[in-house]
């Protein structure tokens, strides 16, 4: 698994910056005035930083200028960065990302003295760590595989910065876990190996139970099982329990779609781009990353993670368009399109979760519809809810951590598009409002009075070009937002 860079905080007093090896990062203000650490080493460098500032140095957030093999220094590189005037979280993250982009391999030392707000420094470090993520499990070149980094932060405010950064340590592990899962190819991350990855969370104190096809048949999870019946891989539901509260507290339930590969089944997808369908387990990946985060930080909350793991393949036993399957709830579903399989997985997983655990609320995540990408692009996830309070709490949490999301509507006209001539409902409602009708399909499997959110992460789970916080590929979107929701809803 990919490991985030280690962070060590060192006192400014007694640290000889001229003797620091590797890469040294110092800061200048927006007007080009060198910060305390930058001024200190500028003299050793013979005024090189002063000259660099004078050479069109804008000082805007995200500025990072690199000087190689500076005279008078042990460091191989010095990076002069700026966070801008009156910086906020966005500026801090932009600067952390910019620093990560110009870093060479090896260790790095940051000297944020002069940056007054410890929380903003912590945000900058967080962005830098996330942007340094590099998935190379399948590269054979030794140099390419060597991405281990150690980051030292030299600061005069040791205790304050350590406290400000503490919440990000476990979160980075959770995000990296999600990214690794989503980036793995389907011949490696099978339903069996995915379940084994989750079983390993028991070492952190998470209770993990794996339900195979025999158990699922007894439970009546026929909709979920129908999706995987064309695959040689066994369909599963994996339950993860984090019981961290000593209070009598009903758990919050997180439910994830885990289609480890989606060919579309008999309703076969076009060949072009099908290789990206390794990411169709993104919802399950996010739930897994959240559960790891909660365990690592010993969250004082009770949270249940449930993921439905299947592979959607064509074959002699695969379900067909026109098949009618009975869900665990008892509702019958006419399968119009076998490529609308995620909702069949989730409807049984959602019903099982509510029946088994009686949660205080349910949140499901899925790379569910291409329609969501058309609606919101790759910039935001769309979420749907039957409960304004829970929706508001999630929206605030997502805004706070920078996981951009937009609330979408629900309503009877959309549900009516799912009416079937032969069964209780169809699994698709046509092209119009495709992401909303998918949400309404899931809504049918939410018990009366149960607060619920459905989050469609089709556009944000994996991206084709780098973002501010992630390289090309898996983003880990949603781990931070859901961790924050647990903090604000359950741990205060």
What's the rounded Cα separation, in Å, for the pair 165 and 73?
29
What's the rounded Cα separation, in Å, for the pair 251 and 254?
10
3-state secondary structure of 322: coil
Exposure of 267 by Cβ count < 10 A (0-12 exposed, 13-18 middle, 19+ buried)? buried
**Which one of the listed residues 149, 343, 444, 489 is annotated catalytic?**
343
Question: Is 444 marked active-site?
Answer: no
Exposure of 276 by Cβ count < 10 A (0-12 exposed, 13-18 middle, 19+ buried)? middle
Task: Report residue 161 as tokens.
Answer: 């910065």
Instruction: Give me the residue label for tokens 């299947």.
Output: 310
3-state secondary structure of 264: coil
Task: Report residue 191 as tokens.
Answer: 């339903």
User: Are 477 and 403 in contact, with CB atoms under 8 Å apart?
Assistant: yes
Q: How far apart are the first and last CA of the chain?
A: 32
Task: Report residue 97 as tokens.
Answer: 């990302």
Please report how many Cα atoms fall inside a 13 Å half-sphere around the Cα of residue 184, on the Cβ side: 23
- Could you count the other beta carbons within 10 Å of the beta carbon of residue 3? 13
User: Are 309 and 262 in contact, with CB atoms under 8 Å apart?
Assistant: no
Helix crossing, 118-131 with 158-183: angle to 10°? 30
**Which one of the listed residues 199, 269, 300, 407 is annotated catalytic?**
269
What's the rounded Cα separation, in Å, for the pair 182 and 260?
9
Helix (H) or strand (E) holding 309: strand 302-312
Strand ordering across the sheet containing 236-243: 207-211, 236-243, 302-312, 252-262, 361-366, 452-456, 381-385, 405-407
For the chain, what is the largest distance between any 2 Cα atoms, rounded to a whole number of angstroms? 82
Task: Report residue 258 as tokens.
Answer: 């885990």
User: Are 342 and 370 in contact, with CB atoms under 8 Å apart?
Assistant: no
The percent of the chain in helix, strand and coil, each rounded to the nearest 5, is: 40, 20, 40
Computed on alpha carbons and rounded to an integer, the radius of gyration of the chain in Å comes to 24
What's the rounded Cα separation, in Å, for the pair 341 and 334?
12
Question: Is 196 marked active-site?
Answer: no
- The closest of 352, 99, 365 to 224, measured between CA atoms, is 352
Task: Report residue 455 as tokens.
Answer: 């989050």
What's the rounded Cα separation, in Å, for the pair 57 and 51?
10
Active site residues: 269, 343
């Amino acid at each position: 698994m990919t490991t985030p860079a280690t962070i060590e905080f060192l006192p400014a007093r007694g640290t000889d910056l001229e003797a620091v090896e590797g890469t040294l990062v110092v800061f200048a203000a927006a007007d080009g005035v060198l910060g305390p650490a930058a001024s200190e080493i500028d003299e050793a460098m013979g005024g090189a930083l002063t000259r660099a500032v004078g050479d069109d140095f804008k000082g805007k957030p995200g500025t990072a200028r690199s000087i190689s093999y500076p005279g008078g220094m042990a460091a191989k590189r010095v990076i002069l960065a700026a966070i801008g005037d009156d910086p906020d979280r966005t500026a801090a993250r932009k600067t952390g990302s910019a620093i990560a982009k110009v870093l060479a391999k090896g260790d790095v030392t940051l000297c944020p003295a002069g940056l007054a707000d410890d929380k903003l420094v912590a945000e900058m470090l967080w962005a830098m760590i996330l942007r340094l993520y590099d998935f190379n499990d399948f590269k054979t070149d030794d140099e390419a595989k060597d991405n281990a980094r150690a980051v030292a932060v030299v600061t005069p405010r040791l205790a304050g910065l350590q406290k400000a950064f503490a919440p990000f340590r476990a979160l980075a592990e959770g995000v990296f876990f999600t990214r690794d899962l989503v980036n793995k190819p389907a011949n490696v991350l099978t339903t069996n190996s995915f379940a084994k990855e989750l079983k390993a969370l028991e070492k952190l104190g998470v209770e993990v139970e794996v339900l195979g096809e025999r158990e699922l048949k007894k439970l009546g999870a026929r909709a979920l099982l129908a999706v995987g019946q064309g695959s040689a891989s066994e369909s599963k539901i994996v339950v993860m329990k984090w019981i961290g509260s000593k209070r009598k507290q009903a758990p919050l339930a997180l439910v994830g779609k885990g289609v480890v590969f989606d060919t579309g089944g008999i309703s076969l997808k076009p060949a072009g781009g099908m290789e990206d369908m390794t990411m169709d387990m993104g919802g399950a990946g996010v739930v897994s990353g959240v559960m790891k985060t909660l365990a690592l930080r010993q969250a004082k909350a009770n949270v249940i993670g449930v993921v439905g793991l299947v592979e959607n393949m064509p074959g002699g036993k695969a379900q067909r368009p026109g098949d009618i399957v009975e869900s665990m709830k008892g509702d019958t579903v006419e399968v119009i399109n076998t490529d609308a399989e995620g909702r069949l997985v989730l409807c049984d997983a959602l019903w099982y979760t509510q029946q088994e655990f009686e949660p205080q609320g349910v949140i499901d995540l899925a790379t569910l519809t291409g329609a969501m990408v058309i609606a919101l692009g790759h910039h935001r996830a769309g979420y749907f809810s039957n409960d304004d309070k829970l929706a508001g709490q999630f929206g605030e949490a997502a805004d706070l951590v920078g996981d951009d999301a937009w609330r979408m509507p629900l309503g009877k006209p959309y549900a009516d598009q799912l009416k079937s001539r032969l069964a209780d409902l169809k699994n698709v409602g046509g092209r119009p409002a495709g992401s909303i009708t998918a949400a309404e399909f899931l809504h049918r499997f939410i018990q009366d009075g149960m607060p619920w959110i459905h989050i469609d992460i089709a556009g944000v789970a994996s991206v084709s070009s780098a973002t501010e916080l992630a390289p090309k590929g898996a983003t880990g979107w949603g781990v931070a937002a859901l961790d924050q929701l647990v903090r604000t809803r359950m741990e205060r």
